[in-house]
Each structure stands twice: as structure tokens, then as C-alpha cells.
Amino acid sequence: MAITNKIHFRNLQGDIFGGITAAVIALPMALTFGVASGAGASAGLWGAILVGFFAALFGGTPTLISEPTGPMTVVMTAVIAGFIANDPDNGLAMAFTVVMIAGIVQIIFGLLKLGKYITLMPYTVISGFMSGIGVILIILQTAPFLGQASPKGGVIGTVQNLPTLLSNINPLETLLAGLTVAILFLYPSKLKKFLPPQLLALIVGTLISIVLFNGADIRRIGEISVGLPSLQLPTFSVSQLRTMFLDGIVLGMLGCIDALLTSLVADSLTRTEHNSDKELIGQGIGNLVSGLFGGLAGAGATMGTVVNIQSGGRTAVSGLTRALVLLVVVLGLSQYLTGIPSAVLAGIALKVGIDIVDWGFIKRAHKISIKAALIMYGVIALTVFVDLIVAVGVGVFVANILTIERLSSHRADTVKAVTYDDEEIELNQEEKQLLEQANGNVLLFYLSGPMIFGVAKAISREHNLINDYKALVLDLTEVPILGVTSSLAIENAIEEAVENGRQVFLVGLKGQAEKRLRKLGIMNQVPAENCLRNRTQALRQAVTFVHTQPQNQYSNPIQTGNYSDNIDPQAIG
């Protein structure tokens, strides 16, 4: 694995233009998320610079733009509010330590090569999770949109205080916020490539507040520190240690999902393939450095990435350029940002929340599957009112259980136990004749496809349906994978047959299935000469065995079979 991202200068003009364009979009978003999180505009700007620079330098997606995003900001808002409430003096420092922990978690995931597994979750869960985050962001912007400070208690606190917020509305700030949202919704799509609507809304809202409402009671960003950020040493509290690590894991996991989903978008636009594990390491380094210097946590940003690619960006030079442009703005132009109204940033954040909600799938989910819709709505509710990690855990668990149930039901249809010709099993003419000659005394047990644990019940059920037979032919020719639970169910069938004096024949055993049965010791119960590759040959030997053994030797002590003697042994062949 290369240490840095693939960087070359053959597309320098496109990369520089893409980086500058992405920086123009990143500026209002960084300010918005910094203020929304409670850490301040500076934290949002430095998060955009540091995460963006190091993720571009060390990541695995050349065109990916990384910065504070809506989902990451939602988690950071809760983290910052929680730690400041418990420890006003050190709460913010502990929140930045959580960002460092999240970065370390991402680096570990990358080193363990878990990147390809991060996004392997049902779309219903991803959709519900992201929509829930969008709803949270919308709710959290209600107070600043109405011109007031956010009440304590996060989402629940805001919902409970909604009547008070509405009764104390600040008309001027609400007007500015409403104007911002109107610009973002009504802005013509064809003009977006020339001027991002977020930047236009930021400029228009700020100018109106200064020119028309100068001196009015309007909350603004305020002073932004000029100069390089100071080092934030990791700060821990014994009483909060467990919470810090859990929050770090949640933030890191969310960053992984957010970044890798955006990497997939970048792949589809550039027709390339990203390196998931390398990307996680780059994201982790970016967040680790951002936390060390008081910046917000970040991840791959879809909007910035798409704009970067559409503007010509093709290598990591575009991401590095974007970070350097933002650095120049912070160090040289930050004094011009202090007059931006908080209500304008609330309007931008509100629009981000609306865009995060997966409206397209919400409208169609119930048409596709009621179960899928219920899972999605359940994840949304848990995300908004309970906990992000609980929402994902419960959603994935329920979705996987339903999937396993469907797969098990489908695979159970491939488990067949017959003593006579059966149209559901494709038999050649000789095999049909052999089963007829056996007159129900040979049980053909046919399995097909992967035998996952949910199929074990079907194996036991099919085997138990037929008790009167003298020989068991177990056909595993078309079984590529044999799970432990299904293996044990097969073992029970073989043991029961052996205990009742029946002969067992195994057909087509190979690969993983054969290794599994040997390791479990099941093969010790079947004579080597009874392990065959051909089903027809196994049926021949089974029928021969049935008609060359004493009748009473195979009487079941619990249930005696009715075996026919009216078969000519010469006809067996």
C-alpha cells in the first residue's frame, strides 16, 4: 500500500479549478457546521482544512473532498453538549479528544482491512439512518432559525420547548433564515456551476443584515481567531472515560460509512475504483490531526466531491488545493466573516438537513415492501429519539433476521427426501427404476445450494417425515457450503440411520462440505466404500443392499416397517 494518495500533475488545471470551486462551497458549510455544533465557526473551518488536507494526502479516493458533514455534525453537537454539561471547564477539550479517538478507530479499521465490510448493510437501514440524521439536523436548527439560543436537551429539549420558541420568535432573524432557505430552494440549477447557492445565500443574507438592519438585535458569528490553531492535548475524565470511547467509536463508524458511501459516488462519476482501506486510514489521520488542533470531525462530503469532479478535479491535488484556499481565507480574510448572521447559517443547515432526508425512498418504501418500510421508519425513530448506534444495531439485526428467514425458506425448498420418483428432483431413467425397485426401502435425501443454519430445521423435518426405510442415500453433489448447524442436522440423520441398522451412502461430497463433515467426525460413521461420486451408483448399491440382507435385521424397535419381498433380485442389476 502506497503511503500517500496517487498524485500527479497531468491534470493540474482541472485539479486547481476543482479545488477552488470545492473551497467556495466548503466555506459556508464549514461556518454553518461549526456554529451548529456549538464548537464555533473556527472549529468548523479548521476541521474543513485539516481533515480535507490529510484525507486527500493519505486517502484512497483521489477525487474525494472531506470536511465536516451534516451527519458528523449531528453527532458532534450531542458530544459537545454532553461533555460541556458535565464539565464546563474541560468539556470542549474532551469533545476534541473524542474526535482523535474517532480518527484512531478509523485508522485501525483501515489497517485491519475492514473497509469492504463497512457499507455492507441493507439500504433500508442506511436510508433510515441518514434520514434520521436529517430530521435531527432540522429539529436542532429550529431555535436558531427562530432567532433564539438552542435549549438544553438536544432533540427532545427542542421538541419540548417548541411552544416557548414559537412564542418568543425574533422576526428579523427568522426573516433572514427564511430568505436563506428561499434562495437555496429557488436558485436555478444551471447557475450552480458559476456560483454555489450556499455562498450566494451567505453573501445576500449578510449584506441585508448589515445594510437594512444595522444596529438591530441580530446574533452574528462574532470574532474568528486569526492565526494557526493551538495544540489541543488529549483530555480525559475518569468518570467520562467510557462515554468518550463509545462516542469515539460511534463517530468513527459514522465517518467510515459517510466517507465510503461518498467514495462510491466518486467512483460512479469518474469510472474508477477507490481503495476503501486506504481511504479509512486517510480519514482517520485527518480526524486525528483535526482533533489535535481543535477542529470538527469530518468525512467525505458528497456535495463537495461532486462539484470537484464536475469542475475538472481528478487527483488528490484538487483536495489539497481546496484545503490551501481555505487556509488562506482563514488566515487572511477571517475578519470579514464576523458579521455573518447566525440565522443565515441556520437556514443553510436546515436546507442540508432537508437534503439528507431520503425523500425518494420514503415515498416508495411502502410500495416496495411493508417490512422494508417499517424497518426504515423504525431506524428513523430510533436515530432521532434514542441513539444512533442503537438505531443501526437494531436495524441491521432486524433486517438480517428477515433476510435469513427468507433465504432459509427459499433454501428449505431445495431439501428433498423421497423414496419413490419425485418430479421435484431431476432423476435419470435408471434412478427412477431403482427407486421403484426399492419399493420405499431406500430414502434418497437430496440437498442443493448453500446450507445455511436456517435450513437445519428443514433437513430434520424432511428426514423425520419418513421412518420406514433400510438404506439412506444422502446426495450432497450440489452443496458448495455446509454450515455448522446444517452439518449437525445431517449428523443426526446419519446417527439415527446407523443406530437403527440402516446403511448410509454419501454422494458427491467435496470441498468445504467434505472438510466440515470430516472435522465433525461424521465421516467415521460411514464406510469408505459408501462414499461415492455418482448418485446412480449409490442407488444401485443401496438397492442391492436392501435385497441381500435379512428382513428382520432392519426392524425399527419403535416403528416396524412394511417391506415387500416381491422383487426379483436378478432385476436389480
DSSP letters for 213-277: STTSS--B------SPPPP------GGGHHHHHHHHHHHHHHHHHHHHHHHHHHHHHHT----HH
Residues 221 and 336 in one domain: yes
In contact, 494 and 525? CB cutoff 8 Å = yes
Q: What is the model's pTM?
A: 0.75
If we measure between CA atoms, which residue out of 15, 68, 49 comes closest to residue 345?
A: 68
Q: Please state the length of the chain.
A: 573
* Assigned domain for 310 exists: yes
Rounded Cα distance between 514 and 518, Å, is: 6
In contact, 532 and 513? CB cutoff 8 Å = no
Residues 427 and 333 in one domain: no
Neighbours of 545 (CB within 10 A): 18
CATH number, domain of 527, equals 3.30.750.24
Residues 251 and 366 in one domain: yes
Which residue in the block uniquely carries the three cell numbers 432385476? Answer: 571
Residues 112 and 232 in one domain: yes
In contact, 313 and 36? CB cutoff 8 Å = no
Note the pLDDT of residue 559: 35
* Assigned domain for 7 exists: no
Domain boundary among 377, 393, 421: 377
What is the residue range of 481's domain? 413-554+567-571
* Assigned domain for 561 exists: no
Rounded Cα distance between 221 and 345, Å, is: 9
Tally of domains within the chain: 2
Helix axes 511-519, 484-499, angle to 10 degrees: 60
Note the pLDDT of residue 48: 96
What's at 44, amino acid-wise?
Answer: G
* Assigned domain for 77 exists: yes
Residues 160 and 252 in one domain: yes
Mean pLDDT for each consecutive 10-residue tract of the chain (573 residues)? 66 91 91 92 95 96 94 93 92 96 97 86 85 91 91 87 92 94 92 85 92 86 79 90 94 93 89 92 97 96 90 93 94 85 92 91 88 91 85 83 70 64 72 85 81 68 70 86 83 85 88 85 84 88 82 42 35 36
Rounded Cα distance between 230 and 251, Å, is: 23
Rounded Cα distance between 461 and 197, Å, is: 63
Residues 176 and 288 in one domain: yes
Q: C-alpha cell of 151?
A: 435549549
Residues 84 and 206 in one domain: yes
* Assigned domain for 398 exists: no
Residues 189 and 81 in one domain: yes
Q: How many helices (H) and strands (E) does the chain have?
A: 24, 7
In contact, 498 and 525? CB cutoff 8 Å = yes
Q: C-alpha cell of 189?
A: 440549477
Terminal Cα distance for the chain, rounded: 63
Backbone φ and ψ for 446, nearest 5 degrees, come out as -110, 125
In contact, 341 and 41? CB cutoff 8 Å = no
What's at 331, amino acid-wise?
Answer: L
Residues 505 and 362 in one domain: no
Residues 344 and 490 in one domain: no
CA 59 to mean position of chain CA atoms: 19
Which residue in the block uniquely carries the three cell numbers 443406530? Answer: 499
Q: Which residues contact 392 (CB under 8 A, 6 or more apart)?
A: 121, 125, 129, 253, 379
Domain boundary among 317, 349, 377: 377
CA 383 to mean position of chain CA atoms: 14
Residues 469 and 353 in one domain: no
Note the pLDDT of residue 407: 66
In contact, 231 and 292? CB cutoff 8 Å = yes
Q: Which residues pair with 167 in a beta bridge?
A: none
Residues 330 and 423 in one domain: no
* Assigned domain for 4 exists: no
In contact, 56 and 319? CB cutoff 8 Å = yes
Rounded Cα distance between 237 and 91, Å, is: 9
Please give the angle made by the CA atoms of 9, 14 and 15, to the nearest 5 degrees: 60
In contact, 350 and 181? CB cutoff 8 Å = yes
Neighbours of 553 (CB within 10 A): 9
Domain boundary among 350, 377, 404: 377
* Assigned domain for 394 exists: no
Strand, coil or helix: 475: strand
In contact, 462 and 448? CB cutoff 8 Å = no
* Assigned domain for 227 exists: yes
Q: C-alpha cell of 300?
A: 467525505
In contact, 419 and 442? CB cutoff 8 Å = yes
**DSSP assignment of 335-382, as one string?**
GGSTT-BHHHHHHHHHHHHHHHS-HHHHHHHHHH-HHHHHHHHHHHHH
Q: C-alpha cell of 188?
A: 436555478
Note the pLDDT of residue 271: 87
